[in-house]
Amino acid sequence: MSPEAPSEVDSAVQALLEGATDLTLGQALRGAARRVPQRLALLSEDRSLSWAELDQEVDRLANLLRQVGLGRGDVVGFLINKRAEVVTGFLACARLGAVFAPINFKLHHDHIRDQVQTARIVALFTEAGRERIVEAVIDLLPGRHRVIHLGAGAGAGTPYAAIADQPARFDEQGVSPDDVCYLNYTSGTTGRPKGALTTHRNIQENAVATIRGLGFREDDVFLGMFSVFAHPHELFHRSLVLGGSFVIIDTLSPRVVAEAVERFKVSWMMAVPSFYEMMLDYVAPIGAQPNPHHDLCDVSSLRVLESGGAYVGAETMERMEAEFRCTFLPVWGCTEATGVGLANGPGARVPGATGRPVPGYEFRVVGEDGQDVADGEIGELLMRGPSVASLGYVNMPEESAAHFVDGWYHTQDLVVREPGGFFRFSGRRSEMLKIGGIRVYPLEIEEVLKQHPEVRDCVVVRAEERVRGEIARAVVSTQPGSRLDVRAVQAWCRAQLAVYKVPRIVEFWAEVPKLPNGKIDKRAVVERSPDPERDERVV
């Protein structure tokens, strides 16, 4: 189907957008609670909250955080799954003037400890099953009372349930829209997490830009499928501005998600392209009669499938729109942009393009000399705008100086600018992967592989898998006589890396191909189709 351009917002919504970027997140929440107190805000399998209820719970939680000694500028780490408390915690920190810091609990404990130290985290939200991580970092906190635990069996500390004893009103004082409220994490070239210093205004600017540019509406029910530690503000930030509804669901089961779309009447989703592919197995054809004997769901409430984290070709766009009967909207964004910056639609679009800028962003394409290149030439994508986290990364001055130069953020993504203002992705300067929307750098995986005593040489490149989308593919050459197998390689990686970084495909080649200058010939690797059964060694 042909997607429509976003319609003009009505005068009431326009007024909300015009004033939103001057509000803190706490003020935006208060405004929604006053305008539409009974409208459902947060929807989940466990519980749902109206805007008035969400506002009150955030007030009580902000009071609890103050009681345990937290205040403006303090960084609070979150070690919890995708659940309602991610949102209440985020907004309570914002209302208090504290800083929300999501922690990737799948990382090795040493990496988590480094993140806690680098970000100067002084409190943690946790839940049952995270005890070992907490013990690995507890000595870095002022005291165990700064561990806010959810549910039973999460260990000593301060129970989240204690909010019931807190005042139902919190006075937000002295918090500015330009205060940092969030460490939006990405990874450095070595895989070390980098927290982009993100302000209230950065978040609000991106919400307003994407509402205007993508056609997001007040009556949209939003469902975001990215990981809880990958841009969690995007779970709710557009809905917060408009007072709409958003769904929190912690699963990667396409069947369960399809059921949630049907149950909550989701109208707008954000996920990687491969996830929509998997959902099709559980989607009833439009107009089909319900059949209790088939595990198919009515997803006719969907009007937009926003797709990020991976390249989308013309064939995929056409097929998804034909199957789902709604707009398929490829987007590009990054941590430092605080969300989506380019979109291939709605309205005019170019098959296979990355997209055009949404309102509020400026882009340049530059060569290695830093000068703008002509249309049609490959260069690095640079961007700036009020949504960009131009303060840099928390306590990483060298990384900040390298990526933020003269007001421009250097994305390291290589693109071509085409007629009509569209950009087309060509590659990644850092050769990073995006697995489930999370950046993964091959160098980090290669370094772990090379530490194995039986690995002689290796290279990690991108591959595709239907279920997971982009994955890591490792090509390994071993020492003579080695009987190293796939499971052993993956186990070695799993002991030192997050699970999603472990290569899904491991191939054993007699030699890793090299260029005349001795560098690995990655093109020669990529040109050979992946084969999980390949083993060219002579034993």
Q: Taking the CB of residue 210, how many other CB atoms lie within 10 A of it?
A: 26
Q: CA-CA distance, 312 to 274, in Å (whole number)?
A: 10
Please give the torsion angle defined by the CA atoms of residues 184, 238, 469 and 297, in that order, rounded to the nearest 10 degrees. Answer: 140
At 285 the pLDDT is 80
pLDDT in tens, 217-230: 999 999 999 888 88
Count of CA atoms in the C-beta half-sphere (13 A) of 59: 17
Distances (CA, A) of 147 to 65, 79, 152, 157: 10, 10, 14, 5
Domains of the chain: 24-31+47-176 (3.40.50.980), 354-428 (2.30.38.10), 441-526 (3.30.300.30)
pTM: 0.81
**Cβ contact 503:445 at 8 Å:** yes
Name the token pair of 248.
């929190």
The DSSP bridge pattern shows strands 49-50 and 40-44 to be: antiparallel
Residue ranges in the chain modelled with pLDDT below 70: 1-12, 152-155, 187-191, 286-294, 310-311, 427-428, 430, 467, 515-519, 539
267 — phi, psi (to 5°)? -110, -20
* Residue for token pair 């409430």: 301
At 252 the pLDDT is 84
Three-state DSSP class for residue 449: helix
Name the token pair of 483.
């009987």
For the chain, what is the radius of gyration of the CA atoms?
23
At 1 the pLDDT is 45
At 435 the pLDDT is 85
Q: CA-CA distance, 447 to 46, in Å (whole number)?
A: 42
List, in sequence order, every beta strand (DSSP E) within 249-353.
268-271, 304-307, 327-334, 339-343
Q: CA-CA distance, 472 to 463, in Å (whole number)?
A: 6
Q: CA-CA distance, 156 to 468, in Å (whole number)?
A: 37
* Residue for token pair 């992967």: 433
At 274 the pLDDT is 75
Q: Which of 214, 208, 231 is nearest to 305 (CA)?
A: 214
